[in-house]
Structure 1
């Protein structure tokens, strides 16, 4: 609730600031254009505002109804909910509390009951670097603030907390997010390592003598420096170090293979790629083979005259991120 109140307060501050800007713009328009032109501008702005507001309102209502229907389905049948969100492929039998923890998702954050104590210890390590008088004053302010604050309420039961510790100490299993769907997968550690070794020994990977991220980042920065007058500074500021993710199991594939997933978010070329995408995306719709989504694909099929001998072929790429031979692509498609 405290976080929610802070968010509401922040939004009210933003709204107040925007209202002041609107008032300044209205005063500027009233002193710059005639009354008839003012009325036309205000009417156009009001119409645009209503259209955007109704559109966003409809989107949020649709999202809320979808989330509510999903919650009702899971709540009406707990067994189906557990099968949907937790897939145990290991030989270890999960307890009810362990399965309940995994159903919360791998991004679930457990409230720290010793938050005040941890904050006091962290502040104390900083106070030692301050002058004595300033440090004592700062320590007293932090102490009075912590005394007034309430300890956070736990968002997990004691038995579930013990189950979390049990899963963490279990070295015989590996818990991973699924490649598709909001599902948590439990694998045997031995099978997981075997799948990793199979990937590494497939002949498409080779060890690197040095991490090339810094070199690529310097190269990108040098290229952007040549066009510093043409490109905004924010594009260059978004270039951050590379961040990788572990392989995700593909539970919808036979034998549950591992997918070598490399996240480009935060990589040296990530912001530059997003900048180029905004330029190139409008050109893609002009192509004769462009398909926006499945709905657009259905619309295109409605205008096609099908014959009895016609067939619909669907190609499934077995390995998307590995090296693909240009001469023989059929070996990588199934």
Structure 2
């Protein structure tokens, strides 16, 4: 049942659940009926438009339009069908855990042994393996209610509220809840909790998520440091800075935002959203590529809390919709398979793929900015998602 159609009631009991279930099914049937009606109307409109175009356009022009329409339709249909099939398969597997042969999906198709890849010298105990198999995003329930953290977070929210009475009411509600709160039931065993403590005390290992997949990887710390040093000492890819540019970049960004606000080019809401409030230096770390020989590291730069963090998040919403607009764009491996389906490689030729080394650091920044500017100037929907002009966006990039 779609979440938007799920009903809730304070009435308890089996009969109430039956009534709710029947009501949800009737709503779902009505939605399906309305969708079918809408599809039918759209198809009628398409046929009417086609008929009009055939009578008003030259045959050659109409044929080009029809071909472009058919290609666009097939692409959208393929992508939508793939997404819906993935959602359906996931729901079926979640509901009963059965594959198409009736076998248990979880025990037949999932191999927990691959969830933990130990590349270190440490011998992992069964409890350590079990807790690592839960993944890096698994949240362990606390032994006690984190009162101080909740109070601190509440204060941050209250300080942003304009109505003082509402803020005081929120504080009172939080205090009341905390007084009656109890620690949640533990979601791991005592052995697993001890295993976490033992792993955290071991200074000779590093625990990381794999670059691809959901595996957890354990590396010797010295090996990790050696591989990271090899990455940052590559002078063909990186340039060593003589000093920390954080303050200079922040001042440049702040001055730009103040000038725009003074000239009424941005409002206070956007100004506060983009204003840098911290100066955390971005951190570099590596994720092991366990699918490659010797498990090299993929460098990742975390800019959370950095001067340009809010800027990057905002600009991602501005230029993100520009991606994937060409016929050469590949969404994923499934989309690639669909595109080459039926392709015949001529005799004497081969289909090959290339892997770019240090892709992002190899992109010429000036040319990339020129391309982005050109695409933004031709984007008719820019004003719908962004209050800045193309010139402002270009200057904003220059701050980085």
Same fold? TM cut 0.5: yes
What is the correspondence of 1:51-66 to structure 2 with a 5 Å cutoff?
Answer: 61-66=88-93
What is the CA distance between 1:219 and its match in structure 2? 3.4
TM-score of the superposed pair, with normalisation by structure 2: 0.52
Matched, 1:258 2:297: yes
Matched, 1:92 2:131: no
The structure-2 alpha-carbon separation of the partners of 1:325 and 1:147, relative to structure 1 and needing over 3 Å to count, comes to closer
The structure-2 alpha-carbon separation of the partners of 1:299 and 1:212, relative to structure 1 and needing over 3 Å to count, comes to same
The structure-2 alpha-carbon separation of the partners of 1:219 and 1:296, relative to structure 1 and needing over 3 Å to count, comes to same
What is the CA distance between 1:178 and its match in structure 2? 0.9
The aligned counterpart of 1:183 is 215
The structure-2 alpha-carbon separation of the partners of 1:155 and 1:269, relative to structure 1 and needing over 3 Å to count, comes to same
Deviates most, 61-70 or 157-166: 61-70
What is the correspondence of 1:93-242 to structure 2 with a 5 Å cutoff?
Answer: 93-115=123-145, 119=147, 146=178, 148-203=180-235, 204-223=237-256, 236-239=271-274
| Separation (CA, whole Å) in 1 of partners of 2:298 and 2:322 | 29
**Which residues of structure 2 form unaligned runs of 5+?**
1-6, 9-29, 40-80, 152-171, 366-400
Secondary structure (helix, strand or coil) at the match of 1:273 reads helix
The structure-2 alpha-carbon separation of the partners of 1:67 and 1:190, relative to structure 1 and needing over 3 Å to count, comes to farther
| Separation (CA, whole Å) in 1 of partners of 2:85 and 2:203 | 48
Deviates most, 204-213 or 312-321: 204-213
Between the two proteins, the alignment pairs up a number of residues equal to: 265
| Separation (CA, whole Å) in 1 of partners of 2:269 and 2:175 | 40
| Separation (CA, whole Å) in 2 of partners of 1:70 and 1:232 | 54
The aligned counterpart of 1:18 is none
What is the CA distance between 1:273 and its match in structure 2? 2.3
The aligned counterpart of 1:20 is none
Contact 1:86 1:184 in 2 (8 A): yes
The aligned counterpart of 2:315 is 273
What is the CA distance between 1:104 and its match in structure 2? 1.1
What is the CA distance between 1:207 and its match in structure 2? 4.1
| Separation (CA, whole Å) in 1 of partners of 2:87 and 2:348 | 45
What is the CA distance between 1:295 and its match in structure 2? 4.3
TM-score of the superposed pair, with normalisation by structure 1: 0.61
| Separation (CA, whole Å) in 2 of partners of 1:51 and 1:64 | 26
The aligned counterpart of 2:77 is none
What is the CA distance between 1:57 and its match in structure 2? 9.3
**How large is the Cα RMSD of the aligned pairs?**
4.6
What is the CA distance between 1:257 and its match in structure 2? 0.9
Matched, 1:313 2:332: no
| Separation (CA, whole Å) in 2 of partners of 1:303 and 1:289 | 17
The structure-2 alpha-carbon separation of the partners of 1:303 and 1:161, relative to structure 1 and needing over 3 Å to count, comes to closer
